[in-house]
Structure 1
Amino acid sequence: MKKLFRRLFAIWILFLVICLAQCGTSTDKIYPTRSGLTESVYSSVTVQPDSLYQVYAAVGGILEKNLVEEGDKVRKGDPIAQIVNNTPLLNMENARLNLELARENYSGNNAVLSSMRDEINSARLKLQNDSANYYRQKKLWDQKIGSEVEYDNRKLAFELSSSNLQLLVGNYERMKNELKTKLIQAENNYKTATIASEDFTVTSKINGTVYELFKNQGELVSSQEPVAAVGSSDKFVIEMLVDEVDIVKIREGQKALITLDAYNTEVFEARINKIYPLKDERSQTFKIEALFIDAPEVLYPGLAGEGNIIIMEKKDVITIPKDYLFDGNKVKTEDGIIEVRTGIENLDRVEIISGLDTQTHILKPGE
């Protein structure tokens, strides 16, 4: 029994010595190293067709049938869906009748303008007669022949005839302009109604692929709801969401390394093509677009992945792990705490510009 106790005691002592020896040796003491360092900004990635847009109908109605299927390629102007609605046809017919009436009124063969022209002709003849009588009487009165009352009556009749003619001509011109305006309005209404009646067939605005159909045959279609989604067939863009703290580092033309879940660990190069200036308040991110330098052979809308946008690359610089740096610019060494000047960084390492060399042991803070 004593031998067993002494044996267990010896094993315990040996274990204690090993622990003390290990505790006396810091495993978190390292040297700074020289290596290349790349600073990058992380982003989530979604692949979408270029020029992707939702197709809307210009008129409401019932979807008679879809003229394409998802995945079909279309050219600009090709029909996508057919809509049935009798209301625009009735509106077009009413607009046509109003146009014919306005055109007839303005042509001058209607009773209004015709009677006004007759009144103007009568007033012009009356003015000629009153004018002749007035100047004849005036000539006699200048010779002191006749009475002043007769002269005044001739003069008043002439002036009234002149004013009446001017009034009739003015009314005629106003009526003519009004009818002309109504004619133009009727023509515009007819054109609008004609366009609406022609918009029963929804067509593609680009050359591309039909990626989605939103309505089935017999469903109600309104001008506020899309009927399809169409985008480029062979050109895709990379939509990237960047945190607001990193957006100021992003510039057009920067290189990005893209990985897609569908392609496992394969890395694709891209270039930043566009930066959207408006922040998404819900996600606190900015959207940017990139284009593949060498795109994968097969792409589908909505493919997801991750991206790293290269901000800066340096070769042969002194770096340390980021968890050995504290307070932003301090490092713990065997001789105490020293301050350093840092440069670029990535997820786990940071560049040391000055304050450290590769011969100085550094300790992890807290050791």
Structure 2
Amino acid sequence: MKIFKWLVPIFLVVFLSACGHRESETERPKGRTIKAELYTTSTVEISLLRELPGTVEAKVRAKLSSKVAGFLKEIRVEEGDRVKKGDLLLRIEDRDIRDKIRALRAGILAAQKDLAEVSARLAFARAEFERYRKLFEEEAVTAQEFEAKKSEYEALSARKGALSARIKELRARLSEAESLLPYTTIRSPFDGQVLRKWVDTGSFVNPGQPLLEIEDTTSGRRVVFHPEETLFSTIKPGLEVFVRFPAKGKALRVWITEVVPEVDPQTRTFTAKADLPKNYQVLSGNYVQVFVPTGKTSRILVPKTALINRGGFYGVFVADKSGVLHFRVIRIGKTFYQEGANFLPVCLKTDCKAYVEVLSGLHPGEKVVVKPPEGVREGDRIAEGA
């Protein structure tokens, strides 16, 4: 009897549980019929691109340096200023050069005055020398008197020669000093923008010392990058490459314009350059990603909109032959963008259609929901004609 008393409650619990289970099975909703676009997977050819870092620079730039020594008297520009060709940028103190020019001119005038005086005396001494030479031949004067006139004539001739050489030297020095005077004012060689300023007013500068760096804003900009030496046979002038500025998002199609035929022995890289569109708005020094074509391969791609993230795992809804949806976890790779019949890992337009590389989890010919509706779940069915 005691055992029976214990069995009755247990039987009731099991019975009620079974009833509840049947009721829940009865109330469980059936799969819904939904409308959604399907994408049939297939193996497509994609372009393989090698990503390399690059830098934007002006096609024409100039480092302006001093050709004379002196203190900076005036600087009229700051970094970032726009300048026109011929604009005065800075001025070096020219007082010492002007003082030197005045001294040389005064020296030339004094030497010319001495030369005129010596020339007059030399003319008289030459006449006396010729007269005494004849008299000496006639034995009308002594040898001592003749030698005195001869010595005077030769001394004045030497003096005239020295003064002439001195004047020539002073004129050469004057010409050199006058040629330095224009270098005390530095002007812009072209329309451009000041990139760097290395000096301030009052600084003492030496010949050859960099003062300013200016880029030409009318000649356009280019991308400079340094591929490894193994790509030297691939990267040639005229090769189509793609560049992408992270801040802008979309990429550009450009062409290689210059390849430097030299490999850096330290980095084992060489230099390549590609011109940007002339009016493309980008700053010198900007970081840019360069994508170099290296070949093609085949992959399964699915629209990026088909992906669903569940707890860090990506998956898609796959419709079976009956149209019933099943969620399947997949492993994905890189993102590609459709450009005509090509699939590239860069977007060349504002609104690119994105696809994701499927590394595992799908096979060609399977149908994937492109944009899963909100609330879609396992067991839902795709409506006929969807």
TM-score category (smaller protein)? 0.5 to 0.7
Structure 1 gaps, min length 5: 1-32, 134-152, 321-346, 348-367
What residue number does 1:69 align with?
78
User: Which residue number corresponds to residue 193 of structure 1?
Assistant: 177
Distance in 2 (alpha carbons) for counterparts of 1:103 and 1:309: 72
Note if contact 1:268-1:295 (Cα within 8 Å) is conserved in structure 2.
Answer: no
* 2:58 is equivalent to residue 49 of structure 1: yes
- Residue in structure 2 matching 1:262, options 236, 247, 251: 247
Taking the aligned partners of 2:86 and 2:221, their CA distance within structure 1 comes to: 22
Residue aligning to 1:84: 93
Structure 1 residues 102, 50: CA separation in 2 closer, same or farther (over 3 Å shift)?
farther
Give the share of equivalent positions with the same residue, in percent: 16
Cα deviation 1:262-309 (Å, max 9, x = unaligned)? 222x111222222334444443322222212x3563111101112134
Compare the two structures and name the one with the higher helix fraction: 1
In structure 1, C-alpha distance between the alignment counterparts of 2:186 and 2:241, rounded to whole Å: 39
Equivalent-residue separation in structure 2 for 1:211 and 1:242 (angstroms): 27
Normalised to the residue count of structure 2, the TM-score between the two structures is: 0.54
| Residue in 2 that maps onto 1:245 | 230
Equivalent position of 2:166 in the other structure: 182
The CA deviation string for residues 221-259 of structure 1, in whole angstroms up to 9 with x for no partner, is 333432221111141122121223323443223222111
Q: Contact 1:102–1:186 at 8 Å: present in 2 too?
A: no
One-letter code of the match for 2:275?
A: L
The letter for the 1-side match of 2:280 is E
Normalising by the residue count of structure 1, what TM-score does the alignment of the two structures yield? 0.57
Structure 2 unaligned segments of length 5 or more: list them: 1-42, 300-344, 346-386
Find the counterpart in structure 1 of residue 102 from structure 2: 93
Change (3 A) 1:120 1:232: same
Secondary structure in structure 2 of the residue aligned to 1:263: coil
Structure 1 residues 110 and 302: CA distance shift in structure 2, 3 A: same
Q: Secondary structure, in 3 states, of the residue corresponding to 1:215?
A: coil
Instruction: Let me know the Cα RMSD of the aligned residues.
Output: 4.0
Q: Say yes or no: does 1:120 pair with 2:126.
A: yes
Counterpart code for 2:92? I
Code of the residue aligned with 2:129 in structure 1: it is: A
Aligned to 1:245, the other structure's residue is in SS state helix
Aligned partner (choices 233, 252, 255) of residue 271 of structure 1: 255
Query: How do 1:223-238 and structure 2 match up within 5 A?
Result: 223-234=207-218, 235-238=220-223
For 1:62, give the aligned amino acid: F
1:87-166 aligned at under 5 Å gives the runs: 87-105=96-114, 108-111=115-118, 113-129=119-135, 133=138
Would the alpha carbon gap of residues 104 and 259 (structure 1) be closer, same or farther in structure 2, given more than 3 Å must change? farther
Matches of 1:167 and 1:249 in 2, distance apart?
84
Aligned partner of residue 216 in structure 1, secondary structure: coil
SS of aligned partner of 1:59: coil
Partners of 2:125 and 2:152 within 8 A in 1: no
Q: When the two structures are aligned, how many residues end up with a matched partner?
A: 256
Instruction: Please list, as runs of the form range in 1=range in 2, the aligned pairs for 1:294-305 lying within 5 A after superposition.
Output: 294=277, 297-305=280-288
**Separation of aligned partners in 2, 1:290 and 1:180:** 60
**Preserved contact between residue 262 and residue 303 of structure 1 (Cα < 8 Å):** no
Q: How do 1:4-83 residues align onto structure 2 when only pairs under 5 Å count?
A: 35=45, 42-83=51-92
| Rounded Cα–Cα distance in structure 2 between residues aligned with 1:258 and 1:120 | 85
DSSP 3-state at the match of 1:45: strand
Q: Is the 8 A contact 2:47 2:293 kept in 1?
A: no
Which of 184, 206, 209 is matched with 1:222 structurally? Answer: 206
User: Is 1:205 matched up with 2:198?
Assistant: no
| Residue matched to 2:334 | none
Shift of 1:67: 1.1
Q: Which moved more, 1:239-248 or 1:274-283?
A: 274-283
Distance 1:277 1:102, change over 3 A: farther
Cα gap change, 1:124/1:221 in structure 2, threshold over 3 Å: closer, same or farther? same
User: Separation in 2 of the partners of 1:43 and 1:103?
Assistant: 70
Q: Counterparts of 1:37 and 1:278 in 2: how far apart (Å)? A: 28
Q: Is the 8 A contact 1:92 1:197 kept in 2?
A: no
Q: 1:67 & 1:203 partners in 2: Cα distance?
A: 10
